[in-house]
Structures are given as C-alpha cells and as structure tokens.
Amino acid sequence: MIFEQHPACLLKGGKLGNGLANGVVGDGSGFHNRLGNGFDRGLGRGFHNRLGGDFDRGFGCGFHNRLGNGFDNGFGYGLDCRLRNHFHNRLGNRLKNGLDDRRRFGNDFHERLGDHFDHRLGDRRRFGCDFRDRLGDHFGHGLGDRRRFGNDFRNRLGDHLSDIWHLGNDFRNRFGD
C-alpha cells in the first residue's frame, strides 16, 4: 500500500497502545486525529484503513467530529452515514485498536467507540435530552468522570481519578472513586 505524502504532513514519534508508530501516515491534508492522550495521528488521502471484513475505507479531510475530552476525530469522504434522528454508523471490528462505532445524530444520538484500546476510556455522555456517548470498554487506564452540563448532560470516564468537582448548580463532575 502506498501512502500519499505531502509537504505539510507531520510525522509523530509517539506510540499507540499496540506499538503502532504514530504518524507513520502522512496526513496530506492537514487532518489530525487527537485521541485524548496527547497522540496525534495523520490520516492522509492515500490512507486506507481496514474496518471489519474486507471493507476498505479512506480517511480523508473535511469532516471533523469533536468527541470531547480533547478527542478530534476526522472522518473524510466515503463515510457511510445518515445524519438524521436515527443515524447509525458501524465502523468495523478488526482495527488493531478495535473500533466499534455506532452513532446517532439528532435526538437519539448514541455513539460507541472502540472496545479494544490499550487505555480504558469509559465515557457516557448526555447532551440535551437524549445524547449518549460511550467510548471504549477495554482501555488499560480508567478515567472516572461523571459530568452534568445543564439538566441532562452526563459524562462518565472510567473509574480511577481522584477529584470531585461541582461547578455551578447543575454541573457535576466525578473523577474517580
């Protein structure tokens, strides 16, 4: 497989949880995927990622999905999605880090990202009335974070931080147990 290089590409030396060198792929489009732990990964236009079965998906530029906690996820062209009230997007099960992604945008947004990352990130969130976001079940490190923004936002990040914050009347942030 040939990865398209670009003068603007950034090569990072960090390691993913599975030992994959970070930034081996030239981003070619200014696209960076930030995964909450300080790791930048460039997914260029010539990059094909195996997502379950024999499905090849190109991750390009243009679309950025902000998943909180410093996680910027950019999915490019070819993303099979329906951006309505009952959007479901299933992104394979056979990545090296495991990416099992179900998404719904609108009133019933549900997002499940990954079950096989090396760092545990268990994240449940509610934005508005019916947004739930669950990020991973098998990270190696647990983050315990429960948050409420407004009346109905809940965010749970693992179980192993050590502070409890209350900001305002209706914001609750639980770190650890």
Q: What is the pLDDT of residues 12-65, one digit of tens each?
A: 333 333 333 344 444 344 444 433 333 334 443 333 333 333 333 333 333 333
d(Cα 31, Cα 47) in Å, to the nearest integer?
12
What was the pLDDT predicted at 96?
Answer: 34
In the structure, what pLDDT confidence band is assigned to residue 87 with cuts at 50, 70 and 90?
A: very low
User: pLDDT (tens digit, 9 = 90+) per residue, 102-160?
Assistant: 333 333 333 344 333 333 333 333 333 333 334 333 333 333 433 333 333 333 443 33
Contact between 138 and 116 under an 8 Å Cβ cutoff? The reply is yes
**Is the CB of residue 138 less than 8 Å from the CB of residue 117?**
yes
The pLDDT value given to residue 102: 39
Residues paired with 40 in a beta bridge: 34
